[in-house]
Amino acid sequence: MISPRVKSILYGLTIQTIISIFALPSHKSLNPEQTNTIPEKASKSRGVNLLSDLISLFYPEVCAACGMLLYRHEDTVCLSCRYLLPDTGYELVADNPVARIFWGRVRFEQVSAMYFFAKKGKVQHLVHELKYKSNRDAGLFLGREMGKKLAASALYSDIDYVVPVPLHARRQRIRGYNQSEVIARGIKETTGWRTDTTNLIRAGATETQTRKSRSARWDNVKDIFQLQNPDRFAEKHILLIDDVITTGSTIEACALALSAVNNIRVSVAAAACATS
């Protein structure tokens, strides 16, 4: 039994083949000088496209947000999902719901999250692709989109360092990378802001924060972050990067470690925030 996804690819291959055949100009319609060049180029292009389609039959590229097949001109996230991703607009508003999470707890310059994170939603699929399915492209996509929006906001106009929330070395070895660091790399691609991944470190391993209460999350992370060289961040504006903000306990613990630095300013940006 052929799966619907394979049927879809086969159908696309058939259509592409027909189009490429009929799109190839005939020798009769060409000038003598063109007969040795244009058909050859068109044939080579057609061959490359057919090879690409054949590869996609066995290794299909799918949207990281919805799982549907990507068209040849699409990358990581399909055009439909790009349009439908639930944008918060918080990077333009200083007094936003995510910033209020930290009121009375810790002082930040600015706090924002780019998308709303809903159970079984497109953003959850993107984040899970990054964290649990080794899809770094999903994180780079999130970072690039964050970078575009942050760079266009006056609230984030003077960032000195982008600092991803550290992952413990053991967990990073198991996963192969730090998801927040991948997002930060995407931000750097679109903004050019410097990234620092060595100064703020996670000194101890912790249990997963998933399904913990706010107080339990804080107890889990409150003393685990340390600075290797506090002077590096002195009098700088630091942008902390995380994947999803829920209770804010991890970000607050990072801020506690950074608070000892002379004249430091700290802002926060996450790819997503949990909906209530």
228 in Cβ contact with 116 (< 8 Å): no
Rounded to two decimals, the pTM is: 0.77
103-111 mean pLDDT: 95
Classify residue 87 by its DSSP letter.
B
**Of residues 245 and 52, which shows the higher confidence score?**
245
For the chain, the residue count is: 276
**Phi/psi at 115 (5° precision):** -125, 155
Burial of 158 per CB tally in 10 Å (0-12, 13-18, 19+):
exposed
Residue 26 clears pLDDT 50, i.e. is over it: no
Residue 11 clears pLDDT 80, i.e. is over it: no
Q: Determine which helix (DSSP H) or strand (DSSP E) holds 164, and give its type and residue range.
A: strand 161-164
Report the percentage of the chain scoring pLDDT > 90. Answer: 64
**Of residues 3 and 191, which shows the higher confidence score?**
191
235-242 mean pLDDT: 98
Report the percentage of the chain scoring pLDDT > 70. Answer: 71
**Of residues 72 and 196, which shows the higher confidence score?**
196
* Nearest in space to 254 (alpha carbons), one of 207, 210, 199: 199
**Of residues 11 and 268, which shows the higher confidence score?**
268
Q: Which residues contact 218 (CB under 8 A, 6 or more apart)?
A: 247, 249, 252, 253
Q: Tell me what the pLDDT averaged over the chain comes to.
A: 83
- % helix, strand, coil for the chain, step of 5: 45, 15, 40
Both tokens of 227, joined, read 């600075």
Q: How confident is the model at residue 66 (pLDDT cuts 50, 70, 90)?
A: very high
Distances, alpha carbon 147 to alpha carbons 34, 72, 167, 241, in Å: 46, 25, 21, 11
Mapped onto helix, strand or coil, the DSSP state of residue 186 is: helix
Residue 152 clears pLDDT 70, i.e. is over it: yes
Residue 91 clears pLDDT 70, i.e. is over it: yes
Q: How confident is the model at residue 39 (pLDDT cuts 50, 70, 90)?
A: low
Residue 103 clears pLDDT 80, i.e. is over it: yes
